[in-house]
Amino acid sequence: MIVIILLCMAQITFVSGSSISEAKALDALLQDYAFRAFVNPKTGVIFDGVVPSHLNGIKIAALRLKSGSLWRRGYEMYKEFEIPMGLVETPSVERLVLVYQNLGNWSTNFYELPNFTCLAPVLGLIAYDGSNLSATNLAALDIRVSGHPILVKFKDVKSAPEGSVAKCVWFDLEGSSDFSNVVNGNTCSISQQGHLSIVVHDFSTAPKRLITVKLIVSTTRASHVSMLKPIQSFVSLKSQLPWEVLVDWKLELQIEQFIPFASTLTKQPAF
């Protein structure tokens, strides 16, 4: 009789590299500097901002729109963002400002996923009330599509390693993340604001999940115990496990007659 017992399996969870508070502090700072670009503000015109020197490499812009116009027409191309008609903001405002972020070489400092490599910089799109262009530390509006999604067409996306599949990753303003498929090699779609990038799983640095497998062989005659069959069972089970699983193998032989004791063999498989 052969019994296989799966004792434990640890799940992998994904956590951003920096705390949510640090990412929110960056958003507040970039909102301030993006609003400073409105020297002679005009509705519907993109204004590129300048970040403080200690954040060189980050690009920002601001776009002020009437909410009614944004609802009826959308905005054809705001940097990499193609904004459809039917965008809804909460709470409702007369004018809003869409702040664009390209975090460049700072991307993984604020939005790092363990065991994933960025193939493109992290981009951000956040909406704010546009009634006071001198305001700082504004709370973000909640914007969502009511029809077609916002399309994000990344530029200069690195090629994924052979055998890997690139994925879109989107972060909401609270730090949660979600994955979706990349379209045409460089396009992601989102239904609400936040930050996003294109990533690929980095197999070389991924931690292994540990699963303990105990196989008990019980027989009434010691002469009937064959080591070959249990080992073959182990190999068969191993071939069905995901790549990221390390196995703590425990072979326990229980001999009920002639040899009145149990012995244990522990083996770490070679991956």
Per-residue pLDDT for 223 more than 50? no
Helix (H) or strand (E) holding 28, with range, is helix 20-35
Q: What is the pLDDT of residue 228?
A: 52
Average model confidence (pLDDT) across the chain: 80
| pLDDT over 70 percentage in the chain | 68
pLDDT in tens, 38-79: 999 999 999 999 999 999 999 999 999 999 999 999 999 999
Residue 225: pLDDT band (50, 70, 90) is very low
Per-residue pLDDT for 31 more than 50? yes
Max avg pLDDT among 158-167, 199-208, 238-247 = 158-167
25 is written with which tokens? 């502090």
Per-residue pLDDT for 271 more than 60? no
Range with the lowest mean pLDDT among 137-146, 147-156, 226-235, 252-261?
252-261
Q: What is the pLDDT of residue 215?
A: 52
Q: What is the pLDDT of residue 77?
A: 96
Looking at residue 251, the DSSP 8-state letter turns out to be: E
61 is written with which tokens? 């812009």
Q: What is the pLDDT of residue 156?
A: 86
**From CA 191, how far away is CA 55, in angstroms rounded?**
29
Q: What is the pLDDT of residue 124?
A: 98
**From CA 205, how far away is CA 209, in angstroms rounded?**
13
More confident site: 166 or 238: 166
Per-residue pLDDT for 83 more than 60? yes
**What type of residue sits at position 48?**
D
**Residue 96 near residue 128, CB atoms below 8 Å:** yes
Looking at residue 244, the DSSP 8-state letter turns out to be: T
* Cis peptide upstream of residue 91 (ω within 30 degrees of 0): yes
Q: What is the pLDDT of residue 10?
A: 31
Q: What is the pLDDT of residue 233?
A: 58
